[in-house]
């Protein structure tokens, strides 16, 4: 069984499923997708996202505002804590820093990041971290805010082994997306080989970043198996072992108690 540790289910194209989310869920079940973590990127679309998945125990949620979002509400710590108290919410984010898409004085982005970290520490729920072209500041703020006290995930990992080691030391897991299957992703492949077996996750980031052989097309959580298969090849092990290990890691990090996961 597989777990997609990062997807945006409210943004996937349901046309292949007769625009019926329940049909998509049946397909996910048929493809042995045991659980999915649906990630928030703003507060405006969060209520609809929550309603979409509320009836499914095999889907968990996060609350947060993506570092690139500038048009919507910028939540303070108290609001994040209030929203994050719901049982279905198992993490805070995605949050972090993105200097690729945002320009100018990015003090607001750094303060937003700090707010999310502090909310996660109050809630005792892990962080979902997005970082792009901001690795030094990302690590610095994680250290300054003592994010290691709560930990979390560096999602859609695109950095090198040096960054990975520092993130691991800060109590974060490394999550690999379809990018790891790209021929050009040499440094990411090396990290996938080296990361400790008990510290990695797999994800799709769907509907974005579809893995080979679907690169450039719409991504779906069912494609997480291609990420698992590629990592199995890199680590010279079986698909079944990567699926089992990544699922165990996910459950340990998020301490899920959903009946669908058959956890004690």
pLDDT digits (tens, 9 = 90+) for 24-44: 999 999 999 999 999 999 999
| pLDDT (average), residues 40-51 | 97
Flag whether pLDDT at 229 surpasses 60: yes
pLDDT of residue 101: 77
pLDDT of residue 129: 98
Q: Structural domain of residue 42, as residue ranges?
A: 2-261
Domain containing residue 141: CATH number: 3.20.20.140
Domain total in the chain: 1
Flag whether pLDDT at 264 surpasses 60: no
User: pLDDT per residue over 174-190, tens digit each?
Assistant: 999 999 999 999 999 99
What is each CA distance from 15 to 12, 18, 208, 209, 224, in whole angstroms? 9, 5, 16, 19, 20
Flag whether pLDDT at 263 surpasses 70: no
Provide the pLDDT confidence category of residue 103 given band limits of 50, 70 and 90.
Answer: confident
- For residue 114, how far is the Cα from the chain centroid? 18
Flag whether pLDDT at 256 surpasses 80: no
- Is 34 within 8 Å of 2 (Cβ atoms)? yes
**Can you tell me the distance from the alpha carbon of 51 to that of 13, in angstroms, rounded to the nearest whole number?**
17
pLDDT of residue 14: 97
pTM score of the predicted model: 0.95
């Amino acid at each position: 069984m597989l777990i997609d540790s990062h997807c945006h289910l409210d943004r996937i194209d349901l046309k292949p499923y007769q625009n019926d989310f329940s049909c998509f869920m049946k397909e996910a079940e048929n493809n042995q997708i045991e659980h999915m973590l649906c990630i928030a990127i703003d507060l405006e679309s969060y209520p609809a996202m929550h309603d979409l998945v509320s009836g499914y125990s095999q889907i968990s949620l996060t609350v947060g505002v993506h570092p690139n979002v500038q048009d919507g509400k910028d939540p303070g710590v108290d609001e994040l804590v209030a929203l994050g108290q719901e049982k279905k919410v198992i993490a805070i984010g995605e949050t972090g820093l993105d200097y690729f898409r945002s320009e100018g004085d990015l003090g607001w982005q750094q303060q937003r990041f700090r707010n999310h970290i502090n909310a996660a520490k109050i809630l005792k729920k892990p962080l979902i971290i997005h970082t792009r072209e901001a690795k030094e500041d990302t690590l610095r703020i994680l250290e300054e805010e003592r994010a290691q006290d709560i930990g979390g995930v560096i999602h859609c990992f695109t950095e090198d082994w040096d960054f990975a080691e520092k993130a691991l030391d800060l109590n974060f897991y490394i999550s690999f997306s379809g990018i790891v299957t790209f021929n050009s992703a040499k440094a990411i492949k090396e990290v996938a080989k080296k990361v400790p077996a008990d510290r990695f996750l797999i994800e799709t980031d769907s509907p974005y970043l579809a893995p080979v052989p679907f690169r450039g097309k719409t991504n779906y959580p069912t494609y997480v198996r291609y990420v698992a298969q590629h990592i199995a090849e890199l680590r010279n092990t079986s698909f079944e072992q990567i699926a089992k290990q990544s699922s165990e890691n996910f459950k340990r990090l998020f301490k899920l108690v959903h009946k669908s996961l058959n956890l004690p």
